[in-house]
Amino acid sequence: MNVVVQDIERADADVVAALGECGVATVHEAQGRTGLLATYLRPIYAGARMAASAITISLPPADNWMVHVAIEQVRPGDALVLAPTSPSDAGYFGDLLAVSMRARGGVGLVSDGGVRDVRDLTEMGFPVWSRAIGAQGTVKETLGSVNVPVVCAGELIEPGDVVVADDDGVCVVRRAEAGEVLEKARARIAKEEETRRRLASGELGLDVYGMRGRLEEKGLEYV
Amino acid sequence: MNVVVQDIERADADVVAALGECGVATVHEAQGRTGLLATYLRPIYAGARMAASAITISLPPADNWMVHVAIEQVRPGDALVLAPTSPSDAGYFGDLLAVSMRARGGVGLVSDGGVRDVRDLTEMGFPVWSRAIGAQGTVKETLGSVNVPVVCAGELIEPGDVVVADDDGVCVVRRAEAGEVLEKARARIAKEEETRRRLASGELGLDVYGMRGRLEEKGLEYV
Amino acid sequence: MNVVVQDIERADADVVAALGECGVATVHEAQGRTGLLATYLRPIYAGARMAASAITISLPPADNWMVHVAIEQVRPGDALVLAPTSPSDAGYFGDLLAVSMRARGGVGLVSDGGVRDVRDLTEMGFPVWSRAIGAQGTVKETLGSVNVPVVCAGELIEPGDVVVADDDGVCVVRRAEAGEVLEKARARIAKEEETRRRLASGELGLDVYGMRGRLEEKGLEYV
Amino acid sequence: MNVVVQDIERADADVVAALGECGVATVHEAQGRTGLLATYLRPIYAGARMAASAITISLPPADNWMVHVAIEQVRPGDALVLAPTSPSDAGYFGDLLAVSMRARGGVGLVSDGGVRDVRDLTEMGFPVWSRAIGAQGTVKETLGSVNVPVVCAGELIEPGDVVVADDDGVCVVRRAEAGEVLEKARARIAKEEETRRRLASGELGLDVYGMRGRLEEKGLEYV
Amino acid sequence: MNVVVQDIERADADVVAALGECGVATVHEAQGRTGLLATYLRPIYAGARMAASAITISLPPADNWMVHVAIEQVRPGDALVLAPTSPSDAGYFGDLLAVSMRARGGVGLVSDGGVRDVRDLTEMGFPVWSRAIGAQGTVKETLGSVNVPVVCAGELIEPGDVVVADDDGVCVVRRAEAGEVLEKARARIAKEEETRRRLASGELGLDVYGMRGRLEEKGLEYV
Amino acid sequence: MNVVVQDIERADADVVAALGECGVATVHEAQGRTGLLATYLRPIYAGARMAASAITISLPPADNWMVHVAIEQVRPGDALVLAPTSPSDAGYFGDLLAVSMRARGGVGLVSDGGVRDVRDLTEMGFPVWSRAIGAQGTVKETLGSVNVPVVCAGELIEPGDVVVADDDGVCVVRRAEAGEVLEKARARIAKEEETRRRLASGELGLDVYGMRGRLEEKGLEYV
């Protein structure tokens, strides 16, 4: 029942990186306003930014044994996605694990639980998005699984999915859709540039987006 | 039923600015410990600071159509005050809207909902106090109202009221009382200077404020 | 019933300082994963760090009279530990009280309530861990007690206990156990150094900690 | 600054009673989906039901002095609406106060704080909607105000407004609009009767409300 | 992008019913402690109980248009599973929709949002598990999808999955695994009967489950 | 480090029972408004009522091994008090454990975690106050301690302390103070009887408690 899936597919590294440059809000919109994890996930420092392939971990509350197991599966460009089987704010991950991640090429962590040693992680520039910051120690007693589908902060994440994260939160992109989403995200950015220019010059969104007719139709009254 | 009130009165710009210099805690105290919005409103970056006239928006959860409508009503020195009709952490506002606000002279946002593009907003120095940071996209389908009285984070805010905000949170000052509150705030600051000097020199608050007699009277025992 | 205990014992100042250098996560682990306060206590600025002897305060919601009483009991190296008798996010403590604390040699605050003037406190470098940042003014009407055992953020704290706090949260160490905990914390740090070196070189935690056998025994399957 | 307003206007008693028969959901819809208090207010027993004129109370956290003051203002058919100046779950109200309310003709309580003695209140059939059930004792030290506008659970309530409450929560109706809202509520109920009959017979809402065309227009696809 | 999947497979009706008799805790254990929805989902009345095939709905916050669309897809023995795209406590469902569900043979609702008319629903014996009870009215403006995989209260639910719910909460069983889970659940119940008998006679779990050796081995000390 | 303390002292059984008859609110007041556990602890059914000697359990999140260990320590009239080392809503306790408790004379449970099988527990009339109702299965892997001081829902509870619980929540009385608190509670009840009679006859609390003078002195204005 407890498994470690060893050979997972990942999206193209360039596509992953490019999604990261687009940012969470744009990527989320580009894929039809889907994939956003719950807003209670917050970065441990301002300016944290990441795009990575997900190594998923299903594990018990306050037991981080599977994190050690998962790190062996990490390839350069991967991030851990940690989903406790019941809510927990324990400190599943700290600076030693980050050192180990770094040594394997791992780039970050999304934790639907706690994280600790945040000063060290911040100094290392190792980005983490978590439900809580908490130092509560964990045990290594109960198995979980690595690289199985998990629900993390309200979203389904499958191993190898792309996790995009920045100050706005975390968004998941299905592995197979990464290329298509990237295209749409880039199209959106291009279009926004023009909109930004017009808004900056003082034009109103009401006019740029042509909203006045529909507002009137719906019955909005100016008094 | 859905209206946009176009001509609202505002407090004197100098008074508004001066209230901002006094800060949230002082202004809140000066008006008799009233007007403070709920503590779940947090600034998107440390050091954010604002005093502005409120353009209020009542709007549905996850629908930001009315924000576009409201921006047309913004005059230099105004801030948007966003009140969803039921709790929401959607990303009602982002960098494009901030660009548009800036072009109109708008200075900030108080959102009893979410906000996104916080990295861009931070770089722009566009201050936002919000219930959540969230990238969830919004629709433009349902009307709301602009410049009607709203309850935002537990406080009544009327259009043209003064919104003072800093790292301590957000406080509303009734438009008509702005001048009087400013006077009291300044008096308070003057008095605090003297108190600060005495406390810094090692005097105790117990003596500065003459509390010992009343404590004894109430029955406090030293053991 | 309402008392101020004046002569409390404190741990050795050097031990207290050394515990602070070890940090919250290490100290918490060193004493058997105990003593951690709830994760909702957060520092008001990143990088805040403190180790201090606790002056405990039991006080009513939104009434900070006892804080003034407590400051008289502060000796150099002490911190206030504030425990309201029912949950509150009021602003019990601000910059004037910090000035007074500083004048007495006090070094920080742990508040299971609110705090205000956080910009000033940040500029002063006066560290605070609190449940909320809130400017709500308090009254001075109802007695509480100083230097009695309190429960703060879910942990029992006795006067003179050592409070260690950093970006990871807050941990309490019993006064009488401070020396022993320090030794264990130092041993742990020494051991972690070696582990860090090995992990940084690419060894896996699975091997460093010798976990493979037990994982197999428990039935973990690699697929 | 602390006042008791003694002569407030109330809505017509028959209108108030009739609004209560319509229920919260219907009344809320009838007045344009406004006036609903936050969902964290829950009745202390299933089946609680009330419509009453509001005696509003602004009072400090964990201090119920003003409740005693307010009861003197209660006339038959009134309910207390309790709004602490900062969040509190203290037990502001219990069976003795309910006995006193009953003796004055008071019919219930809406508390954006705590309530206690809920077994006794349930046995008395005295309905309460509150943020919390909590026995924490309160003091009688600090003034507040009675019959001033308050924000309770996110809604503005003015003295004499009609408070309608049942298992679905609490809704406020402006005093001056009570009659008009009642008419709309009754019209809504009449219309719903016909709809209920049709739905019960197996017709679909899609057809009863004629939604199919607009769904198609918006692009919904059946697969 | 917005679809209604019309032909979904369902588990065998007898199996579904039998899982309902086993109850949430037993089913959850029988399938390896998986499938439990978040504990914030609560039944609207004590004793509510249900097992049903899921008709899933992904829909916007405070917009219940898709509920009407979904009801057309309901077959006898189905329940609706409602998953807003961002958190909401709006009243998506009330007595009219329940009447319509009943007319189609629908048996209940799981809502990761609000529900209203709970008195009527209770009288009808129509069971609902929801995040909130709230009367906030919804609009019918924005499309969603019916019978697509959703995450509801932290668990993935696919159309046709079995939803088991009682006073303990809600558990999902994969459609294809329903039979196997039922067998395991029954085995568990059989075994528990014997255990119950032994415990009732005064034997200790320590002995019934043979725990003493392993406790000693782990180092538990009796003092 | 993990211990089971076997011989604990308990308060006199008659005193415990009598405290239960006084109820939570009265007992809490009688001991100076102390000892109340957090309001998030709720009974699993209305009308639940208990007074018992505490068998305390410190245990890991989602691991209920120590509950089995603790039951061996239960004597007639005891209740379990369960304190996870970090927050958890797992189902630590269910009907089998209740059967075992009953067989030992145990009378109830206070759980700063979850509980399950609440329908069975309700039918048994086995009262539980808990943070959550949740069916999440637990493991039996990690030791904790039995009959050590714990903090449960924000209050220190020592083994043998008296736990009084009813619809209003849970209150702890120190074992050594039980007799004295009972006396005060009874005095309070006697006094309340007279007050109740006067209030029921229409006298106001303002007069019964003689509050008018002090209100005037503080400056309350009637307008």
pLDDT digits (tens, 9 = 90+) for D147-172: 999 999 999 999 999 999 999 999 99
Provide the mean pLDDT of chain E: 97
Backbone angles phi, psi at D95, to 5 degrees: -65, -35
Would you say B168 and B20 are in contact if contact means Cβ atoms under 8 Å apart?
A: no
**pLDDT band per the 50, 70, 90 thresholds, residue F1:** confident
The residue written with tokens 């690595």 in the block is A146
Q: Which of F28, F199, F201 to probe the D interface (max D CBs under 10 A)?
A: F199
Identity (one letter) of the amino acid at D217? E
Among F46, F169, F209, the residue with its CB nearest the CB of D134 is F169
Chains adjacent to F (≥3 CB pairs closer than 8 angstroms): A, C, D, E
**pLDDT band per the 50, 70, 90 thresholds, residue C184:** very high
Tell me, what's the pLDDT at B41? 98
Among B69, B91, B99, the residue with its CB nearest the CB of A199 is B99
The pLDDT of residue D1 is above 90? no
ipTM of the complex as predicted: 0.96
DSSP state of A91: B
The pLDDT of residue C145 is above 90? yes
Which token pair is B143? 């009307």
Contact B47 C119 (CB under 8 A): yes
Q: Does B6 touch chain E (CB under 8 A)?
A: no
CB atoms within 10 A of CB D149: 14
| Mean pLDDT along residues C197-208 | 97
Tell me, what's the pLDDT at A1? 81
Would you say C134 and C91 are in contact if contact means Cβ atoms under 8 Å apart?
A: yes
Among F33, F86, F151, the residue with its CB nearest the CB of C85 is F33
Chains adjacent to B (≥3 CB pairs closer than 8 angstroms): A, C, D, E
Among C89, C99, C114, the residue with its CB nearest the CB of B199 is C99
**Cα nearest neighbour of B31 on chain C:** C137
Interface of F with C in 135-164 (CB under 8 A): 149, 151, 154-156
Q: Name the minimum distance, in Å, from the CA of F155 to any CA of chain E.
A: 24
Tell me, what's the pLDDT at B84? 98
Write the burial class of residue D203 (CB in 10 Å: 0-12 exposed, 13-18 middle, 19+ buried).
middle
Provide the mean pLDDT of chain F: 97
Q: Does E190 touch chain F (CB under 8 A)?
A: no
Tell me, what's the pLDDT at B1? 81
Per residue in E81-121, pLDDT (tens digit) is 999 999 999 999 999 999 999 999 999 999 999 999 999 99
Count, in order, helices (H) and strands (E) of chain F.
8, 12
Would you say E37 and E83 are in contact if contact means Cβ atoms under 8 Å apart?
A: no
Closest CA to E103 of D194, D190, D189, D198: D198
Per residue in A125-143, pLDDT (tens digit) is 999 999 999 999 999 999 9
| Mean pLDDT along residues F32-42 | 97
Which token pair is C215? 């994982």
- Chain E residues within 8 A of D195 when measuring between CB atoms: 96
The residue written with tokens 């999140």 in the block is F61
Q: Does E173 touch chain F (CB under 8 A)?
A: no
Strand B50-59 versus strand B145-146 pairing type: antiparallel
Q: Which of E19, E184, E223 to probe the F interface (max F CBs under 10 A)?
A: E223
Would you say A88 and A167 are in contact if contact means Cβ atoms under 8 Å apart?
A: no
Provide the mean pLDDT of chain D: 97
| Mean pLDDT along residues F2-19 | 97
Backbone angles phi, psi at F172, to 5 degrees: -105, 140
Among F2, F103, F135, the residue with its CB nearest the CB of E169 is F135
| Mean pLDDT along residues A96-110 | 98
Contact C39 A89 (CB under 8 A): yes
Q: How far is CA E16 from CA E25, E29, E149, in A?
A: 15, 17, 19
Q: Name the minimum distance, in Å, from the CA of A156 to any CA of chain E.
A: 7
Per residue in D166-214, pLDDT (tens digit) is 999 999 999 999 999 999 999 999 999 999 999 999 999 999 999 999 9
**How large a percentage of chain C has pLDDT more than 90?**
100
Contact between chain A and chain C (3 or more Cβ pairs less than 8 Å apart)? yes
- Chain C residues within 8 A of B33 when measuring between CB atoms: 136-137
| Mean pLDDT along residues F39-62 | 98
Identity (one letter) of the amino acid at A138? T
Q: Name the minimum distance, in Å, from the CA of C14 to any CA of chain F.
A: 27
Q: Name the minimum distance, in Å, from the CA of D27 to any CA of chain E.
A: 10
Q: Name the minimum distance, in Å, from the CA of D102 to any CA of chain C.
A: 29
* Long-range contacts of residues F153-156, Cβ cutoff 8 Å, at least 24 apart: F153/F37, F153/F38, F153/F40, F153/F41, F153/F110, F153/F112, F154/C151, F154/C154, F154/F37, F154/F38, F155/C151, F155/F35, F155/F36, F155/F37, F155/F38, F156/C149, F156/C151, F156/C156
Among F1, F85, F155, the residue with its CB nearest the CB of C151 is F155
- Chain C residues within 8 A of D141 when measuring between CB atoms: 139, 141-142
Per-residue H/E/C for chain C:
CCEECCCCCCCCHHHHHHHHHHCHHHHHHHCCCCCECCCCCEECCCCCCEEEEEEEEEECCCECHHHHHHHCCCCCCEEEEEEECCCCCCECCCHHHHHHHHHHCCCEEEEEEEECCHHHHHHHCCCEEEEEECCCCCECCCCCEECCCEEECCEEECCCCEEEEECCEEEEECHHHHHHHHHHHHHHHHHHHHHHHHHHCCCCHHHHCCCHHHHHHHCCEEC
Tell me, what's the pLDDT at C1? 81
Per residue in A74-96, pLDDT (tens digit) is 999 999 999 999 999 999 999 99
Contact F86 A139 (CB under 8 A): no
| Mean pLDDT along residues A10-26 | 98
Closest CA to E107 of E118, E121, E119, E117: E121
Would you say D55 and D7 are in contact if contact means Cβ atoms under 8 Å apart?
A: no
Contact A137 C28 (CB under 8 A): yes
Q: Does B2 touch chain C (CB under 8 A)?
A: no
Tell me, what's the pLDDT at E1? 81
Per residue in E127-153, pLDDT (tens digit) is 999 999 999 999 999 999 999 999 999
Q: Does C33 touch chain F (CB under 8 A)?
A: yes
Q: Does D131 touch chain E (CB under 8 A)?
A: no
Per residue in B152-196, pLDDT (tens digit) is 999 999 999 999 999 999 999 999 999 999 999 999 999 999 999
**How large a percentage of chain D has pLDDT more than 70?**
100
Provide the mean pLDDT of chain C: 97
Among E60, E62, E141, the residue with its CB nearest the CB of B86 is E62
Residue environment code for B117-151, b if the CB has 16+ CB neighbours within 10 A, otherwise e: bbbbbbeeebbbbbbbbbbbbbbbbbbbbbbbebb
Q: How many CB pairs (< 8 A) connect C and D?
A: 45
Chains adjacent to D (≥3 CB pairs closer than 8 angstroms): B, C, E, F
Contact C34 F155 (CB under 8 A): no
Kindly give the residue spans of alpha helices, DSSP state H, lying in E85-171: 95-104, 118-124
Q: Name the minimum distance, in Å, from the CA of E117 to any CA of chain D.
A: 6
Per residue in E35-56, pLDDT (tens digit) is 999 999 999 999 999 999 999 9
| Mean pLDDT along residues C32-51 | 97
Q: Name the minimum distance, in Å, from the CA of A31 to any CA of chain C.
A: 32
Contact B32 D1 (CB under 8 A): yes
**How large a percentage of chain C has pLDDT more than 70?**
100
Identity (one letter) of the amino acid at E212? R
Q: Name the minimum distance, in Å, from the CA of F128 to any CA of chain A.
A: 21
**Cα nearest neighbour of E112 on chain A:** A154
* Long-range contacts of residues D119-123, Cβ cutoff 8 Å, at least 24 apart: D119/F23, D119/F47, D119/F166, D119/F167, D119/F168, D120/D94, D120/D95, D121/D44, D121/D94, D121/D95, D122/D44, D122/D45, D122/F46, D122/F167
Per residue in F83-116, pLDDT (tens digit) is 999 999 999 999 999 999 999 999 999 999 999 9
Would you say D130 and D147 are in contact if contact means Cβ atoms under 8 Å apart?
A: no
Per-residue H/E/C for chain D:
CCEECCCCCCCCHHHHHHHHHHCHHHHHHHCCCCCECCCCCEECCCCCCEEEEEEEEEECCCECHHHHHHHCCCCCCEEEEEEECCCCCCECCCHHHHHHHHHHCCCEEEEEEEECCHHHHHHHCCCEEEEEECCCCCECCCCCEECCCEEECCEEECCCCEEEEECCEEEEECHHHHHHHHHHHHHHHHHHHHHHHHHHCCCCHHHHCCCHHHHHHHCCEEC
Q: Which of A88, A112, A140 to probe the F interface (max F CBs under 10 A)?
A: A88
**Residue length, chain A?**
223
Would you say F128 and F121 are in contact if contact means Cβ atoms under 8 Å apart?
A: yes
Per residue in A164-181, pLDDT (tens digit) is 999 999 999 999 999 999
